[in-house]
């Protein structure tokens, strides 16, 4: 019986000894380097192999370490014989030749806390062939390409050496990552590190391209982007591949650049309202802001060409998307995309972005989304098959400064209907007095006429003619302020005649109303105030001034006509006042509500 107990003790001790060799911990009998003291502290480190601890030369095994007793878990790895096996800083062991090696993992904050594991490297089979995976023979300067080599048989020595025969054209690193540098021809070779007679080679023709092949949608065909006779790129998708498809420009990244291209729309893939083409600026497909021309197409239920600015990601419909929408106006409905190409341009000048369609300034976005951050220009197509030609980019500061001096980049407002609204040298002429203000307007081109903080707006009214047959709400020339973060809310300051007061002419009013409704819709106003006493002759020339001041998070408006402050004493509600809790930004537009006339000498002073 005593001998059985002794045998049992011996067996248990042997099992525990084996476990300690496979799963070592720095505080329970860990192997120590000769001459170093044993660690007896609060930390513990263990090391295991994900897979077998016996590998062939040329193959790898991943080690995993676990640390307890501290939140600082940084470790270092080392090999007892790097001629047999090496270990990376991520714990990947690579066998080099037959033999045995000990891998040690040490805690950075306490190097004496360590654990070891033994790795056996067996002799590998000599490879019989190497095959570099198939890739496009034409590549583009400035881009990278990851090559992969397959070694046969499966149990053969898997390590290969990568080399380039023309490093002026392309270089390759030890992992097969090729960097294309300049136009020309280059051969990249993968050679067995065990037998130099076993290799494979691929030849690349490197061109100077305009677009990248390593970012964006894979559905863009850029193989003809540098064609000698007809450089172009195309995208051809079906309905199952519908959506946003980006195309990044090559070697262009900064805070100032201009890029343009001509988009020929070949086919609509869906009937969604907001399919289109355009140009954006961003960092990736999850961080981009872009402007888009959206053509009227069959099945949409509307007859307008449209423009919009959108963000990626775009899980919601943010304020920028709401306020940037233009339906048919600013020349959009004159864009004949069915019989020609659409020219789209984007100029980024630090935090100001100018979007152009057929050289017409369509929208200006003053945004700090990428304040001080270099972005890439991006061409895009959404649910359309497209060919893009005549693409170009400008990056030098002198050329960009000269462009910004051009009149098209300095336009403040655009005419909603150029047939009835004329904008010439700062004079805004409203030719007819039988149209709603929304359709008889000169509107801010995006953020060009943006008002923030305390502000003043002044202008002159001349030759106003109100439509006497219009007997709903107010008739006259107006200054309209659209809330920047809620574009359906408008504050209007108007001079003319009112149907709210019998026979009232030459009076002033302030209206807060919903832009989705007509100004004369009885359900449109949230609130209004009017003067009961005439403030001026509606047929003469008058100077209008509107101010906003903010104090204690309350905005107070005032309106002056010919230097006299208007007293608003007819109120929609007893509590109606010239104050608002909205203290955010506005964009400005001028209009005639069933009124003709001229507005001149417009002056804007913002953020006073």
CATH number of the domain encompassing residue 443: 2.60.120.200
328 pLDDT above the threshold of 60: yes
Residue 601 CB: number of other CB atoms within 10 A? 11
DSSP H or E segment with residue 398? helix 397-404
Question: What was the pLDDT predicted at 591?
Answer: 97
Q: How many domains does the chain have?
A: 4
Residue 234 lies in a domain: no
Among 414, 345, 401, 402, which Cα is nearest to 377's? 345
Cβ-based burial of 318 (10 A; exposed 0-12, middle 13-18, buried ≥19):
middle
What's the CA gap between 218 and 280, in Å, rounded? Answer: 18
18 pLDDT above the threshold of 80: no
Same domain, 54 and 8: yes
Asked if 156 and 57 touch (Cβ cutoff 8 Å), the reply is no
Same domain, 368 and 394: yes
Same domain, 11 and 58: yes
Please give the residue range of the domain that contains residue 59: 2-122
Residue 11 lies in a domain: yes
The answer to which of 30-39, 117-126, 305-314, 550-559 has the lowest mean pLDDT is 30-39
Among 506, 499, 508, 420, which Cα is nearest to 464's? 506
Question: What was the pLDDT predicted at 320?
Answer: 86
| Tokens read off for 598 | 């001229």
pLDDT range class, residue 309, cuts 50, 70, 90: very high
Question: What was the pLDDT predicted at 319?
Answer: 81
Same domain, 423 and 555: yes
Residue 575 CB: number of other CB atoms within 10 A? 7
Same domain, 133 and 66: no
Same domain, 439 and 514: yes
Residue identified by tokens 């023709």 is: 205
548 pLDDT above the threshold of 70: yes
12 pLDDT above the threshold of 60: no
pLDDT-above-70 percentage for the chain: 93
Residue 300 lies in a domain: yes
Opening angle at CA 456, ends 505 and 321, nearest 5 = 95
Residue 321's CATH number: 2.60.120.560
Same domain, 133 and 108: no
Residue 201's CATH number: 2.60.40.1080
Among 91, 116, 119, which Cα is nearest to 33's? 116
Asked if 191 and 161 touch (Cβ cutoff 8 Å), the reply is yes
- The mean pLDDT value for 72-93 works out to 96
3 pLDDT above the threshold of 80: no
Same domain, 270 and 319: yes
Same domain, 392 and 460: no
pLDDT-above-90 percentage for the chain: 76
Residue 226 lies in a domain: no
């Amino acid at each position: 019986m005593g001998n059985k107990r002794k045998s049992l003790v011996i067996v248990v001790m042997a099992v525990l000894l084996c476990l300690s060799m496979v799963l070592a911990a720095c505080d329970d009998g860990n192997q120590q380097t000769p001459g170093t003291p044993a660690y007896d502290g609060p930390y513990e480190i263990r090391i295991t192999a994900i897979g077998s601890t016996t590998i062939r030369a040329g193959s790898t095994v991943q080690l995993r370490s676990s640390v307890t007793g501290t939140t600082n878990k940084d470790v270092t790895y080392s090999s007892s014989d790097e001629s047999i096996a090496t270990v990376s800083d991520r714990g990947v062991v690579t066998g080099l030749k037959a033999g045995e090696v000990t891998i040690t993992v040490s805690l950075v904050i306490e190097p004496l806390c360590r654990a070891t594991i033994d790795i056996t490297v067996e002799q590998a089979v000599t490879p019989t062939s190497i095959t570099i995976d198939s890739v496009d023979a034409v590549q583009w300067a400035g881009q990278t390409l990851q090559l992969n080599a397959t070694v046969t048989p499966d149990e053969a020595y898997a390590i290969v050496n990568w080399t380039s025969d023309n490093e002026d054209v392309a270089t390759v690193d030890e992992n097969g990552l090729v960097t294309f540098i300049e136009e020309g021809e280059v051969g990249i070779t993968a050679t067995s590190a065990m037998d130099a007679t076993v290799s494979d080679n691929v030849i690349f023709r490197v061109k100077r391209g305009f677009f990248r092949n390593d970012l964006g949608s894979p559905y863009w065909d850029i193989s003809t982007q540098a064609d000698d006779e007809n450089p172009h790129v195309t995208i051809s998708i079906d309905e199952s591949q519908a959506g946003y498809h980006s195309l990044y420009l090559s070697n262009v990244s900064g805070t100032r650049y201009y890029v343009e291209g001509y988009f020929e729309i070949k086919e609509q893939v869906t009937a969604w309202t907001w399919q289109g083409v355009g140009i954006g600026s961003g960092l990736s497909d999850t961080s981009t802001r872009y402007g888009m021309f959206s053509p009227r197409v069959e099945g949409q239920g509307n007859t307008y060409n449209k423009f919009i600015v959108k963000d990626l990601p775009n899980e919601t419909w943010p304020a920028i998307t709401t306020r940037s929408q233009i339906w048919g106006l600013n020349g959009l409905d004159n864009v004949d995309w069915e019989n020609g190409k659409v020219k789209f341009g984007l100029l980024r000048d630090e935090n100001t972005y100018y979007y152009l369609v057929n050289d017409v300034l369509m929208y200006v976005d003053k945004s700090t989304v990428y304040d001080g951050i270099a972005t890439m220009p991006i061409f895009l197509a959404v649910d359309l098959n497209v060919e893009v030609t005549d693409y170009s980019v400008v990056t030098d500061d002198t050329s960009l400064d000269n462009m910004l001096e051009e009149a098209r980049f300095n336009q403040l407002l655009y005419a909603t209907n150029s047939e009835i609204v004329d904008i010439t040298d700062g004079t805004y002429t409203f030719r007819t007095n039988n149209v709603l203000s929304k359709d008889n307007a000169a509107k801010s081109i995006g953020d060009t006429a943006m008002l923030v903080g305390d502000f003043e707006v002044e202008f002159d009214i001349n030759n106003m003619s109100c439509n006497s047959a219009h007997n709903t709400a107010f008739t006259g020339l107006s200054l309209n302020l659209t809330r920047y973060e809620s574009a359906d809310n408008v504050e209007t300051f108007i001079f003319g005649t009112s149907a709210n007061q019998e026979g009232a002419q030459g009076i002033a009013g302030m209206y807060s109303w919903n832009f989705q409704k007509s100004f004369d819709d009885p359900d449109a106003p949230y609130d209004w105030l009017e003067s009961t006493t005439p403030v001026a002759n509606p047929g003469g020339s008058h100077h209008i001034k509107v101010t906003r001041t903010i104090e204690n998070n309350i905005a107070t408006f005032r309106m002056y006509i010919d230097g006299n402050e208007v007293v608003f004493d007819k109120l929609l509600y007893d509590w109606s006042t010239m104050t608002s809790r909205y203290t955010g930004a506005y964009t400005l537009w001028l209009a005639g509500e069933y009124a003709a006339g001229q507005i001149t000498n417009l002056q804007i002073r913002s953020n006073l």
